[in-house]
Amino acid sequence: MPHLTTLALFAAATLALLLVPGPAVLYIVTRSVSQGRTAGLLSVLGIHLGSVVHVAAAALGISALLAASATAFTVVKYLGVAYLVWLGVRKLMAARADGEAPVEVAAASRSRLFWEGFVVNVLNPKTAIFFLAFLPQFTDPALGPIAPQVVVLGLVWIALGAMSDGAFALLASAMAGRLRGSARARRRLDVTSGVVYLGLGAVAALTGESAHAARA
């Protein structure tokens, strides 16, 4: 178990990182704007269930294998890229098909919202590499096995991340509420969502390229 001073320092560093919007925040904001507060919060839950997987992987050393193996890294990376690109293309197609008249758009189910957030995070190798690089910095072999310390730190990260991402979801949904009644606004939101998803796919595709090139 890390010392309280270590946990406090870790929490401060984590909050500083979480307050800078990254791919997960962009995903949550996109969901909140396009479908409302509940969709955003369900996306938060899904994403941080994915974080549990990454924390467990880091504790068991699976993330170390992912970082060391170019093949494993590439497979996981491009699975995530393909999924994000598919989401982006689907959103852009929905925007193109949406007419001027204010029609009802079929909303994604709650389970789908939750599991999409989970899959987007689990298939993001950048998250795995981040946990591998960040969490061990706050561990101390003198305190005992490293794995339980990584788990504790990971749980702190998840708790703080869920709170900050939840705040982003609430803020985004509150600001977007007046826009969703307009077909034109919905179309613009779909375009924005599609571009965001495609951008996330590009970020995931480029993740780690320089590191692997240097190692090769």
The lowest-confidence range among 32-41, 60-69, 134-143, 150-159 is 60-69
Is residue 199 included in any domain, yes or no? yes
The lowest-confidence range among 42-46, 140-144, 166-170 is 140-144
Is residue 3 included in any domain, yes or no? no
* Total domains present in the chain: 1
Of 107, 106, 78, 84, residue with least CA distance to 26: 84
Is residue 11 included in any domain, yes or no? no
- Model pLDDT for residues 174-200, shown as the tens digit of each residue: 877 655 555 665 666 667 767 766 776
pLDDT for position 103: 39
Number of H helices, E strands in the chain: 10, 0
pLDDT greater than 80 at residue 43: yes
Is residue 214 included in any domain, yes or no? no
Is residue 194 included in any domain, yes or no? yes
pLDDT band, very low/low/confident/very high, at 213 (cuts 50, 70, 90): very low
- What is the average pLDDT value for the chain, to the nearest integer? 74
pLDDT greater than 50 at residue 102: no
Taking phi first (over 0 means left), then psi (-120 to 50 degrees means alpha), and beta for anything else, what does residue 36 get?
left
Domain that holds residue 103: 23-209
Is residue 15 included in any domain, yes or no? no
Is residue 197 included in any domain, yes or no? yes
Of 35, 12, 5, residue with least CA distance to 180: 35
Is residue 67 included in any domain, yes or no? yes
